[in-house]
Structure 1
Amino acid sequence: MSDQLAAFGQLNEADFVSLFSRIYEHSAWVAEALWRHKSEYPSDYFDQIEKIKEAMIEIVEQSTEEQKLLLLRAHPDLAGKAALAGELTQESTSEQSGAGLDQCSEEELAYFLQLNDTYRAKFGFPFIMAVKGATKEQILAGFIERTPNDWQTEFDRAMSEVHKIAGFRLADL
């Protein structure tokens, strides 16, 4: 895997941004910023997936609250309308189907849609959970546990979940 990682550092800008723009959902600005700052890192920095992850997290965390909100809002609802319409990214499709969200009964789907709408109405962004390895039941429990939270607590939790998702996606490279 190290040879493959070493190759990441050798990519041209277009290929680099294309590859890493898949890490944070519909947020190519993170990969673009990573490319712009690439020269600030040691030449072997991109040989380590943990270092790439740290750099991407730092870019996101140094961004404005508005950018972070846009990042959160770029994520699809879990078992939501985009999934039903087949409009998810390849990564989101894989993550949601791995959690069984593509196999919901009509009743489960209606419940997910209701939970998504309630959550989004309260917080202004979708419910975000790193669902890799989770079950439908765990995801539903997450909705129920987290929806009563205050805005700041949930914003912080959603950002944490976004970083977990990014970590999974980086590991999958």
Structure 2
Amino acid sequence: MSRDEFVKHFGGIYEHSAWVAEQAYDHASSGLNDIDSLTQSLRDVVDAASHEQQLALLRAHPDLAGKAALQGELTDASTSEQAGAGLDQCTPEELECFKHFNESYLSRFDFPFIMAVKGANRHLILAAFEKRLTNSRDVEFKTALEEVHKIAGFRLAAWFEEEHS
């Protein structure tokens, strides 16, 4: 596949960060034809990125059950992921909890709370918010990057399943 086709297909795997797919394609020493090599190549780009690039990647993620979700402004992937965790079914009280936690988290860490929500529900997510708010910034930065990698892994697996079914 050409570079443009590759970026078109995989540029959204890391939320609003096509640069990850661009660099993976440019630096691939072997084929990116299977899910494992593609996942590792994309992960390597993120892990080798500067702190500023990683921070920009984290900041590209939307709040969970936040304003963008309520206004229908999420990417298709984020909309599906949040709906799969039931975030589109929050009560007004739960939405207020999410709003409070999103604001507290952003204020404390300077990037949004990120969690791979596949297999989770809003109760587990709120509990994770509460727990992770006690982390140091360094620990939480690393945790958020790992969650971004999990999200990318889920998105790649879904893409490969769709393409090969």
Q: Which interval holds the TM-score relative to the shorter structure? A: over 0.9
Q: How many Å apart are 1:102 and its aligned residue? A: 0.5
Q: What is residue 32 of structure 1 aligned with on the other side? A: 22
* Dislocated runs of 4+, deviation >4 Å: none
Distance in 1 between residues matched to 2:132 and 2:90, nearest whole Å: 21
Q: Which residue of 1 aligns with 2:139?
A: 153
Counterpart amino acid of 1:56? Answer: L
RMSD, aligned CA: 0.8
d(CA) in 2 for partners of 1:14, 1:85: 31
Partner of 2:2: 12
Of the candidates 80, 83, 104, which is equivalent to residue 66 of structure 2? 80
Q: Distance in 2 between matches of 1:59 and 1:13?
A: 16
Paired residues in the alignment total 159
Deviation at 1:111, TM superposition (A): 0.9
Q: 5 Å matches for 1:16-165?
A: 16-38=6-28, 40-41=29-30, 45-165=31-151
In the TM superposition, what is the alpha-carbon distance from 1:15 to its structure 2 partner?
Answer: 1.4
1:48 to partner: Cα distance = 1.5
Q: What amino acid is the match of 2:84?
A: G
Larger Rg: 1
Q: 1:3 — aligned with what?
A: none
The one-letter amino acid of 1:123's match is F
Q: When the two structures are superposed, what TM-score results if normalisation uses the length of structure 1?
A: 0.90
Gaps of at least 5 residues in structure 2 are 160-165
- The one-character-per-residue Cα deviations of 1:17-76 (angstroms, maximum 9, x if unpaired) are 0111111000000011012123x21xxx32220110011110000000000000000000
Matched residue, 2:155? 169
Instruction: Please state how far the C-alpha of 1:133 moved relative to its aligned partner.
Output: 0.8
Report the TM-score, using the length of structure 2 for normalisation. Answer: 0.94
Instruction: List gaps (5 residues or longer) in structure 1.
Output: 1-10
